[in-house]
Amino acid sequence: MILVLSKSISPHDREMIRIYLHDRGFAIREQQLGNEVIIGATGKGVVDLRELGLLPGVERVAATAKPYELVSRETKPEDTIVTVGPVKIGGARISVIAGPCAVESKAQIMETAARVRESGAVMLRGGAYKPRTSPYAFQGLGMEGLEYMKAAGETYGMPIVTEVVSPELAVHMKDLTDMFQIGARNMQNFELLKKVGALGKPVLLKRGPSATIEEWLLSAEYLLASGTRDVVLCERGIRTFETYTRNTLDISAIPVVKSLAHLPVIVDPSHAVGIRAKVSPVALAAIAAGADGLTVEVHPHPDEALSDGPQSLYPEQFERLLRDIEAMAPVVGKELLRIPRPQTGLGEAVQPSVFVQQGAAGKVAFSGESGAYAEQALIRAFGEEASRLSVSSFSAVFDAVLDGSAVAGVVPVENSLAGSIHENYDLFLRYPDIGIVGELKLRIVHCLIAQAGATLESIRTVRSHPQGFAQCREFLLQHPSWQMETYANTATAVASIAREGVAPQGTLPRVAAIAGEAAAKEFGLHILKSGIETNPLNYTRFVIIARKIGDTAPVPPSLGSDKPNKASLVFSVSDTPGALFTCLQIVSEKDINISKLESRPIQGKPWRYLFYVDVNIPKTPGVFEAAMEALRSQTKDFRVLGSYHAPQGG
């Protein structure tokens, strides 16, 4: 049984609860979990839960038949997001850890770190103490290896995670590692769990090869009960009758554990399958099943590896895997986590102090109410904890960024079903001091949302943004009698229904809105039908905007600082034959790919057009800059709206 105490509980009421439970035969433990204080009560005592819930200072009571409490979702319904330095694991992100099985030399860990960092890993793994099946196998470099790994992590700006094999070593390793790994063989080494838990550092807890999910969660309970708050669970394959692969990845453990526990769950495909060629497909399956991340063995020369070479990916394979994950992320409603590089000097990247100086305390603006798709995009780009500024129109987002009340803004520019959001393209012309610093693609799943009790037959009116109607065209054609009412955005349409309240007695609700699930949740409304967009491959591309300082807009540090791979340009051309062709030829000759070309009428100049062009930036230095110079001389009103990093996929 778990009691969650109210945050304002007085010491007296807290003592009364202790006495109450003690007198009725319960053993109690008090614990801080996230920002809540909870009491776990076990024993043979009998108590009326409703009565318990009425005691002063008790916020919530849950009876649990589960043997674990602190890890349970009943105790803490929301996802725990584990923080390891600049890295977050859990929530709306996919975090990838990579590195060799074992640290073999300084050069090896440095080279691996450089390669995996370049491909997008956010943490470095590597064993300094290796628990090997054979006593004659390489046992690791010990503390020396850990020192090398710490140096590699610092050089490449990645927190490190390494396995700890004994309580005594845990104390020595504490200041050298950012996260402890408890290996599969030690999952039930309870003295180790207690010691490591008490050190308070983040812990990656592998599932034992023969452990049930419940045993695994009980081991996590040991860690939380001993004092750490940051535990990540790692499924790494279990022992079954199958011998083709090293272990059998229990993919169903991912959704099962995510429903039972609030802790993030990642997957180790390398130890699960033990065969290099099978690692990437299994890793992708884990992401599809809802894993919050991966830990993958990568070695610059797997054939020479001192341990687990046959399952270690070549750096090129790892790079490809991350590209595939990036492409898949919007489908599972997540973003591949990127973190800032340690040093600047990469062009656009700047230190957080620039944003503090701007004085807006890091607010990011979006148009719409809570639950809007733009807010989802914002959370995906900046994290759950980002402070948000909700404004009522797209131009208000630009205004907020310009006047400094927000350090950045998030606006949609195009949808894969309904096309461009022209208003935002036009706004870039009205706000020349604002540039594009990033983009992301959000998968849009539309729902028909109404007050409880509504049926498809009772609806007469549907409210949404014109894009919402356009993206659900086929569904709406099945209901030709419905009136459509246009709103500034989808979440505002949902809010209007919530504000109008429930239908008069004896009548059924007549109004519905088309918006996302988050908006229905935000306003406590009911989803009549989900997935009503014409095609499930429905994505909206959002751009992140910031105020320019000089010629470029600084990238908010939380967006990461991957090298720009895309640029958005705008220009007009003279009204002469071949003018546009000449521009395209410049781009084509430099082998630059155009990913989008759009023309918009120039206001006040009938029949004259501006061209908006998105191009991919080639890797060869100087090529892009030379093409831009040539274009500038061939065009009028030439502007680079921004060059930025665009994730793959969507």
Q: Which residues contact 369 (CB under 8 A, 6 or more apart)?
A: 390, 489, 491, 492, 494, 495, 519, 522
Which residue is nearest to ligand PEP, using beta carbons?
A: 183
Q: Does 272 participate in binding Mn ion (rule CB under 5 A)?
A: no
Has 540 been annotated as catalytic? yes
Chain residues that interact with ligand PEP, rule: CB under 6 A: 101, 127, 163, 183-184, 206, 236, 268, 271
Nearest residue (CB) to ligand PEP, 184 versus 641:
184
Q: Which is nearer to ligand PEP, 182 or 437 (CB)?
A: 182
- CA distances from residue 465 to 43, 395, 470, 514 in whole angstroms, order as listed: 55, 16, 9, 8
What CA–CA distance (Å, rounded) separates 113 from 333? 28
Q: 287-304: buried (b, 16+ CB within 10 Å) or exposed (e) per residue?
A: bebbbbbbbbbbbbebee
Complex with Mn ion: residue 274 or 330, whichever CB lies closer:
274
For residue 187, the minimal CB distance to ligand PEP (Å) is 8
The residues near 80 (Cβ < 8 Å, ≥ 6 apart) are 34, 90, 229, 230, 231, 262, 263, 264
CB of 283 to ligand PEP, least distance (A): 14
Other CB atoms within a 10 A radius of the CB of residue 164 amount to: 27
Name the minimum Å distance from CB 263 to ligand PEP: 17
Q: Which residues contact 507 (CB under 8 A, 6 or more apart)?
A: none
Least Cβ distance, residue 125 to Mn ion (angstroms): 9
- Give the length of the chain: 650
Count of CA atoms in the C-beta half-sphere (13 A) of 473: 8
List the beta bridge partners of residue 571: 611
Tell which one of 1, 38, 39, 101 touches Mn ion (CB under 5 A): 101
* 533 interacts with, out of ligand PEP, Mn ion, none, CB within 5 to 8 A per kind: none
**Catalytic, out of 318, 523, 542, 624:** 542
C-alpha 450/C-alpha 499 separation (Å) is 12
Q: How far is the CB of 244 from Mn ion (least distance, A)?
A: 19
Nearer to ligand PEP, 102 or 580 (CB): 102
Maximum Cα–Cα distance across the chain:
93
Measure Cα distances from 12 to 2, 15, 25, 55, 56 in Å: 19, 5, 20, 12, 10
Which among Mn ion, ligand PEP, none contacts residue 183 (Cβ within 5 to 8 A by kind)? ligand PEP
Identify which of residues 295 and 635 has a Cβ nearer to ligand PEP in the complex.
295
Q: Which does 326 bind (CB under 5 to 8 A by kind): Mn ion, ligand PEP, none?
A: none
Per-residue CA distances from 250 to 304, 441, 448, 632 (Å): 30, 30, 36, 56
Q: Which does 449 bind (CB under 5 to 8 A by kind): ligand PEP, Mn ion, none?
A: none
Choose the one of Mn ion, ligand PEP, none that binds residue 236, judging by a C-beta under 5 to 8 angstroms depending on kind.
ligand PEP
Catalytic, 455? Answer: no
Q: How far is the CB of 111 from Mn ion (least distance, A)?
A: 18
Rounded to a whole number of angstroms, the minimum distance from the CB of residue 184 to ligand PEP is: 4
Concatenated DSSP letters for 498-556?
A: HHH-SPPTT----EEEEE-HHHHHHTT-EEEEE--SSSS--EEEEEEEEE-BTTBPPBP
Residue 88 binding result from ligand PEP, Mn ion, none, given CB thresholds of 5 to 8 Å by partner type: none
Neighbours of 533 (CB within 10 A): 25
Of these, 221, 308, 348, 522, which contacts Mn ion (CB under 5 A)?
308
- Least Å distance between CB 215 and ligand PEP? 15
Nearer Cβ to ligand PEP (189/635): 189
Structure tokens, 515: 């918006």
* Interface segment toward Mn ion; rule CB under 5 A; list 100-108, 364-372, 415-423, 462-470: 100-108
Query: Closest CB to Mn ion among 221 and 308?
Result: 308
Supply the minimum distance, in Å, between the C-beta of residue 323 and Mn ion: 24
* Residue spans of alpha helices (H) in 101-200: 106-119, 143-156, 167-173, 190-199
Cβ at position 273, least distance to ligand PEP in Å: 12
Question: Nearest approach, Cβ of 314 to ligand PEP (angstroms)?
Answer: 18
* Total of residues contacting Mn ion (CB under 5 A): 2
Cα 420 from Cα 598, distance rounded (Å): 9
CA neighbor of 178 nearest in space, from 138, 206, 146? 146
Closest CA to 219 of 186, 255, 268, 247: 186
Out of ligand PEP, Mn ion, none, what residue 163 binds, judged by CB under 5 to 8 A for its kind, is: ligand PEP
Q: Which is nearer to Mn ion, 286 or 498 (CB)?
A: 286
The label of the residue with tokens 């733009």 reads 374
- DSSP summary character for residue 336: E
Give the range of 193-201, 305-313, 480-488, 542-550 binding Mn ion by CB under 5 A.
Answer: 305-313
Q: Report the alpha-carbon distance of residue 205 to residue 440 in Å, rounded.
A: 32
Closest to Mn ion by CB, 165 vs 217, is: 165
> What residues contact 393, with CB distance under 8 A and at least 6 apart?
367, 488
Q: Which stretch binds Mn ion (CB under 5 A): 93-101, 232-240, 346-354, 432-440?
A: 93-101
> Active site residue: 26, 540, 611, 635, which one?
540
Binding mask 619-638 for Mn ion (x = CB under 5 A): --------------------
441 is written with which tokens? 């693609």
Residue 559 · residue 544 · CB < 8 Å: yes
Concatenating the DSSP letter of every residue in 561-628 gives -PPP-EEEEEEE--SSTTHHHHHHHHHHHTTPPEEEEEEEEPTTSTT-EEEEEEEEPPSSTTHHHHHH
8-11's contacts with Cβ under 8 Å and 24+ in sequence apart are 8/57, 9/37, 9/56, 9/57, 10/57
Q: Which is nearer to Mn ion, 195 or 236 (CB)?
A: 236
Ranked by CB distance to Mn ion, the top (closest) residue is 101
Give 43 or 310: the residue with its C-beta nearer to Mn ion. Answer: 310
Shortest Cβ distance from residue 127 to ligand PEP (Å)?
Answer: 5
| Among Mn ion, ligand PEP, none, residue 348 binds (CB under 5-8 Å by kind) | none
* DSSP assignment letter at 558: G
The nearer residue to ligand PEP, 94 or 165, going by C-beta atoms, is 165
Sign of CA dihedral 593, 598, 604, 606: positive
Residues involved in catalysis: 540, 542
Return residues touching Mn ion (CB under 5 A).
101, 308
